[in-house]
Structures are given as C-alpha cells and as structure tokens.
Amino acid sequence: MNDSSQRLPGAARATLSACATALLAACATTTPAEKPAPPVTEAAPVVAAPAPAPKPMFGTFGFDAAGMDATVKPGDSFYRYASGTWMKTAEIPADRSNFGMFTALAEQAAARTRSLIEDAARTEAPADSEARKIGDYFASFMDEAAIEAKGAAPLKPELERIAGIANRRALATELGATLRADVDALNTGDVTTDRVFGLWVTEDLNAPERYAPYLMQGGLGLPDRDFYLVDSPRFREVRQAYQGHIAAMMKLAGFSDAEARASRVFALEKKIAATHWPQVDTQDVTKTNNPWAQEAFAKKAPGLDWAAYFKAAGLSGQKQILVWQPSAITGMAKLVGAEPLQSWKDYLAFRAIARGAPFLSKAFVDENFAFNGKVLSGAQQLRERWKRGVSMTNGALGEAVGKLYVEKYFPAEAKVQADTMVRNIIAAFGKRIDALAWMSPETKARAKEKLATLQVGIGHPVRFRDYSALKVDRSDAFGNAQRASLFEYQRNLAKLNGPVDRAEWFMVPQEVNALNSPQQNSIIFPAAILQPPFFDPNADPAVNYGGIGTVIGHEIVHSFDDVGAKFDAHGKLANWWTDSDLQRFKAAGQALAAQFSAYRPLPDMAVNGELTLGENIADVAGLAISHDAYRLSLGNTPAQLKDGFTGEQRFFLGFAQVWRTKFREPLLRQLLMTDGHAPGEFRASTVRNEDGWYEAFDVKPGQELYLTPEQRVRVW
C-alpha cells in the first residue's frame, strides 16, 4: 500500500497503466530486427495491440487470496479461512493500537492529505483564505522549536482564571464558559466528553424541523465509568497509572503538591463516574428523550447555579434543553454544589492541561502518550509529528481540507459508480421488505415510505463549511487549537437560531468511514472509503458488492436497526410499527444479541451483544441486501469461475476481507467495553446467518459456525 501509484484512485491508476503499456509498445517497435523487413509496396492499416485490462489492487479479481488460510474450513472459521495467513503475517505498526483495512486506508488518506496541506503551507495564499489557514494551522503545529520555547506558558491564562474561582457561582460560570459541542450520540457513537457536561446540537428528537441543544454526561479522563468502578487487576493497574499521570502533568505545569492534587482529582472523577449511565442505557433513545424547561433545571438538578452556567455557555435564550442522561446530570450538579471547591479547581486545572498537552512542549506530549497511548491503548511508539499535524488540521479545518482532497483524489466517475450501487442496493432492500412474510402491510408501507425518503451523500457534501470566522496564527499552535474548538462551539450555537440544514455532513471527505443520521434519515459515504478493498472499479463486481456493497447496505439498515427503527420517515422519534411486528423485530434482535454475546475475543471478556446490537443488525441485513443486489445485477447471466472461485464465493470473500483487523490487547479490552462495534473477526462471522453462504461453501452440520435454518437470524 506504500507504492505511490497505488495512492491514486482506481480510474487514474487505470489511465497510468494504459499509458505505460503504450510507451513500452512504442519502444519495442524501434528495436532493430534481426532480419531486414520486406519493402512496403502499399499502405497497410496499422493495428495497435489491445491494452491489457487494468488490474485490481488486490489479487487477480480484487481479493487478496494470498492472505487466506485454505487449511481452515470455511464453516469452522470463515474469518481465518479468508484471512488466516494475513493474521499471521501482518504486523501492527508501532505507532498504532490496531491495524486492518480501515487503518491502512486511513494511513493512505493521511499521506495524501499531508501533501495537500504541505502544499498549502508552502504556497503564499492570500491572507484569510482557506488555503492559507490550512497551511498556517499545520505549520504552527509542526514548528517544534517555537512550541518548545513557550513551554507551559500557553496554559497560564486559563490556569490563572481557574485559580481565581472563589465561589460556586464562579465555578458554574467557568463550567459554562468551557462547555463545548464535542459529543455526538447517534451519528458517531461518542456519548461522553472530558468536560463536565457536553453539548450536542442536532435535530429535535420530537420535532426534526428544528434544532435542539442536548446536554450530556461527561467529565471523565478514563474511557468509561467501569474503569473507575469495576474491581479487577487490569482496572486497578490503570487507575494507579492514571493517578501517576495526573500528578506528572500537574508537575509539568508548575503545580506543587501534585500527588495530593492528583488524589483529589481522581476521587472527584470516581464520584462523577458513579453518576454516569452505562453504555447500553445511553444508547436507548426512548430513555434519553427528556426535554427540560430551562427554569426547571434548578429544581430538578440542584447544586449548580444553572442561570450562571447557561449564561456563560451562551444558552440563556433556549427555553428548552433535552437532557440525555437525567440522573447523571442531576448527580453531577449535586457534586458541583457539594464537593470541596479546591477539588474542582484541581480537576479543572488538570483537564485544561490534558486538553492542551498535544500542542505543548515535548515533555507534555511524551507524558500524554505514555498514558493515553501506551497504558490505555497499547501503542508502542508516538505517531510521527506530521501524522498528528494532519489529524489536528483535519479536526480544525476538515471540510476545507476535504475540498482539496476531493478535487485531487475523487474523480466524477467514482461518484457515479458508487451512486449506482447505492440505488441498486436500496432497490434490493425494497424488494426484501415486500417479501417479508412476518411483517404486516401497514408496517411495510411505513418502512417503504422511510426507504423512499432516505437521503444519500456520496464523496463530499453539497455545500462545504464556511471557515471565514476562524482565525489562524502561524506562530500559535496552542491558540489555534483553542480558537478552533470555540469556533466549532459557536457554529453549533448558531444552528439553534436558523433553519435545519438537511444536507449537513458529520464526517469529512478524507475520513475512512460511513455514517447514518437517523434524524436526517440520511447516509453518507466519504470519498476516502470509496477505494480498495472496499471499492475498486477494476475488481470483480462480486467483490465490490461484498465490500462497499455491504457497507452501503449496513448504513441503509441503520435507518431500520434497533435505534433507527424508532424514527419515522421524517426523522421524528415515533413508533410506526404495529405491536405484533415490533415484537417480532425485537425478538430477532434479542436472538442476534445472544449470538454475539457468545463470542469471546479474550478468555475473560465477551462481546456485549446488547451494546453492539445496532451494528450487528446493520451487518446482518446489510450483507443480505447487498447479496440480493449482487444477484439482481447478474440478470440472467451466471457469474463465471475466477481462479476457481464462484461468484457467490467471491462475494462473501470480499465481505470477509474488509474486516481484517488486529488489536493490541489494551485497546481491544477498551473497545469491548465502550464500542458499539464487535471486533472484525466476529463481524465477518455474520455470514453464518445468510443461507447463500452455506450453499457457496458447502457448510455442513458439525462445523463451528453452522446454524440450522431456524437458528439463523433474519432481521430484515
């Protein structure tokens, strides 16, 4: 994946291949022959040799057959059959905590983005232009000498403000002034923030024609409440290391009595963790739909001066705020009023240091990595500075960078091909809904209405974000990060006063991912994921349907999973099911949750089938509808054998290939607790619910993955 020609989109790569062939042919015609050519007596047509067909990036038809382990029976472990040799030979880079197809593409996207950003940094673009801001933001982060010279000085204004907090009202003002819009409950799965509360601005669950502010639990430096509350050797080790990390950071910032401060900070965070909702509960939108009038906060959540808080946060004008986890908000407000003021001041100081660490001198960066990189995630080496710089620049100016990315790396024909596949798979899902024997005509009609109103975004947003209000200083990396965070917060606040933008994207084009927004009833596929192994215009269609096709199906089905199915065609939280249909749907979900809860990635940890249910429903049904679409695409012409594989086999192998993933154990443990996705190995095992897989690989009773037809979960 590191060859420069492989960093080009498929269409461009095909052009280069054809040109190279033509040049070689031309050179051959100028080579002296061993015998003189006969004289030409009359003009004869010159017939050029046909250029060879462009090759896919992986293997001969788009699948890396060399990564297989043919000694494994597909019915015993389809993941190891499709990827066993890759699992044995692939190595996780030292600066990574996991590695797979997503991360490999992310590395490629980062390298491409780096060249675009560095070009912007070198170019004398007009002042205040987006190109200038991109270049200056990146250049400020890369100027290690200037950052080192400043040491901890950039922290001084915020730390002095925190030290000056003299009463509870001032504490409420500080908490409100530092509120940020850095959580996204439904679209990305991020439901916590290291700030005491997080703000999410999106469509109102109950009235999607308007925006609403959502207040959410936060305040933790560790990934989840269980890291503080569960008594196990691993968590005790992490907690001890975390307190040492807090003390080290505070020492670097010039605080005395760092160990005592660290003890107070951790004790406060543990009490905050005790108020938090578990991950499964915080994903239940029927539980989280709690509109509170602003004047009701003082009574429902006493302890925090809410008037001062909302004024400092710029939310005073909001008559109603949706509270995502009411008991957590109530419990945390009580802590604001009851815990010693000095504990809160130490806590806020540490949070400020921790947020600023990536933009400070080497000592802060190294300590930040020592805990968050090594202890929590298992990474062995700090990522190169340019990679961190690309990530930071994408975070601050993502759509501006994305505009450059799309211009260079996303040809129009790729968009057309991807759009065609989306339409085919949507049509296949419609046929599948029509054929459901268990669903009533009434519910089918509602489902078809929702499918018909689904919005699709391919490659990039229709309108790119406006960054004209963001100020970037080439000599101030720390300040740039603070201003970018505030800019994003103010951009979200401004949404509360305007019409709903149904075309807004929540990912940038250079991100290797895809997304479904239930409140928009929309799906998006950024440009960076529309590449091999997910999508290769030169690959066999079966592999593309197994790869990007199942990703497309997955995102479509998210509008109909355990969360998406609670929203109607207009993005409103509303029940559109008959009682009997809903019970059947829930029963299928319970069966799937039980199936995944039986998987044990580690001897002492299993997949949480409830936490991962939405993603697993999307995988099961997404695979099924993409399989349907592949079969429909063949018409009456059966697929031919390729390298001994049938079209059906190639489809399922294409699916398995995208889930190749290796994890370092600390990250795997963290993800099993907090992530809504099961590890790749078990996502690949989704095939055991698809009848066509059994036929394709002659899977028999007694093999490990075999399920009787009655045991196979069919959600849609």
Q: Which positions of the chain have pLDDT values less than 50?
A: 1-47, 187-190
Q: Sign of dihedral through CA atoms 61, 63, 67, 70?
A: negative
pLDDT, tens digit (0-9, with 9 covering 90-100), for 562-592: 999 999 999 999 999 999 999 999 999 999 9
Half-sphere exposure of residue 7, counting CA atoms within 13 Å on the CB side? Answer: 15
- What is the C-alpha to C-alpha distance for residues 172 and 135, in angstroms, rounded to an integer? 37
Q: Which residue has the tokens 């002492």?
A: 604
Note whether 98 and 89 are within 8 A (CB).
Answer: no
Q: What is the model's pLDDT at position 182?
A: 75
CATH code for the structural domain at 175-359: 1.10.1380.10
Note whether 425 and 629 are within 8 A (CB).
Answer: yes
Tokens coding 150: 């400043």
Helix (H, G, I), strand (E, B) or coil at 317: coil
User: What 3 state SS string does 426-495 have?
Assistant: HHHHHHHHHHCCCCCHHHHHHHHHHHHCCEEEEECCCCCCCCCCCCCCCCCHHHHHHHHHHHHHHHHHHH
Note whether 249 and 350 are within 8 A (CB).
Answer: yes
Note whether 402 and 460 are within 8 A (CB).
Answer: yes
- b/e for 96-135, b at 16 or more Cβ within 10 A? bbbbbbbbbbbbbbbbbbbebbbebbeeebeeeebbbbbb
Note whether 201 and 212 are within 8 A (CB).
Answer: yes
State the pairing for strand pair 455-459/320-323.
unpaired
- What is the C-alpha to C-alpha distance for residues 156 and 179, in angstroms, rounded to an integer? 19
Tell me the one-letter amino acid at 342. Q
Q: Where are the domains of the chain?
A: 58-90+410-452+531-716, 175-359
Note whether 219 and 183 are within 8 A (CB).
Answer: no
Alpha helix segments (H runs only) across 635-699? 647-657, 665-674, 680-684, 691-697
Q: What is the model's pLDDT at position 326?
A: 98
Q: What is the model's pLDDT at position 191?
A: 52
Tokens coding 437: 């024997």
For domain 58-90+410-452+531-716, say whether CATH 3.90.1150.170 is its number.
no
Tokens coding 374: 């090594």
Q: What is the model's pLDDT at position 10?
A: 30
Alpha helix segments (H runs only) across 253-361? 258-275, 279-282, 285-288, 297-300, 306-313, 326-338, 341-356
CB neighbours of residue 408 within 10 Å: 14
Residue 586's H or E segment, with its range, is helix 579-597
Q: What is the model's pLDDT at position 50?
A: 56
Burial group, residue 599, by CB count within 10 angstroms (0-12, 13-18, 19+): middle
Note whether 265 and 344 are within 8 A (CB).
Answer: no
Residues contacting residue 25 through CB under 8 Å, at least 6 positions apart: 48, 49
- Decide if 58-90+410-452+531-716 and 175-359 have a common fold: no
